[in-house]
A and B are shown apart, each in its own frame.
Chain A
Amino acid sequence: MMKGCDRYRAATQFYLDRELSGSDLEDFLAHLEKCKDCRARLEAEEKLSALLHRSRPLYLSPDALRLRITHAAEAFHDVIAHEAGLRVDRL
Chain B
Amino acid sequence: MSWRHGEDGRVGAISIEYLDRLYSYALVLTGNPAEAEGLVEKTYVHALRVMGQPWPCGNMKGWLFTILRGAWLNQLREPRKDPQMAGTEVVDGAANCIVEPSMCSRDIYASKVEAEQVRWAFHELPSDLREIVFLREYEDFSYQEIACVLEDSVVTVMSRLARARAKLREMLSTAAARAIHLE
Contact = CB atoms under 8 A, between A and B. Distances in A.
Interface in B66-99: 90-94, 98-99
A77 B14 CA distance: 10
Contacts of A88: none
Interface string A36-77: 000000001100110111111111111001101110111011
Interface string B1-24: 100000000000110100111111
B92 A44 contact: no
Given A55-B118, A58-B24, A70 B99 contact: no
Contacts of A62: 23, 33, 37, 91
B156 interface: no
Nearest to B137: A52
Contacts of B115: 54-55
Contact of B45 (A17, A52, A72): A72
A18 B141 CA distance: 11
B166 to A, nearest CB: 10
Interface size class of B (residues with CB under 8 A): 35 or more
B1 A74 contact: yes
Contacts of A17: 136, 142-143, 161
Nearest to B98: A60
Contacts, number: 114
A44 to B, nearest CB: 7
Given A17-B136, A72-B41, A61 B19 contact: yes
B142 A66 contact: no
A73 B169 CA distance: 42
A73 B44 contact: yes
Interface size class of A (residues with CB under 8 A): 20 to 34
B138 A58 contact: yes
Interface string A2-43: 000000001001100111000000000000000000000000
Closest 7 CB pairs of A and B: A60-B93, A61-B23, A55-B115, A52-B137, A55-B118, A59-B93, A59-B24
Given A54-B118, A70-B1, 19 more contacts: A14-B158, A17-B136, A17-B143, A18-B142, A48-B165, A48-B168, A52-B168, A54-B111, A56-B94, A58-B28, A58-B134, A61-B19, A62-B23, A65-B37, A65-B40, A66-B16, A69-B40, A73-B1, A73-B44
Interface of B: 1, 13-14, 16, 19-24, 27-28, 33, 37, 40-41, 44-45, 48, 90-94, 98-99, 111, 114-115, 118-119, 122, 133-134, 136-138, 142-143, 158, 161-162, 165, 168-169, 172
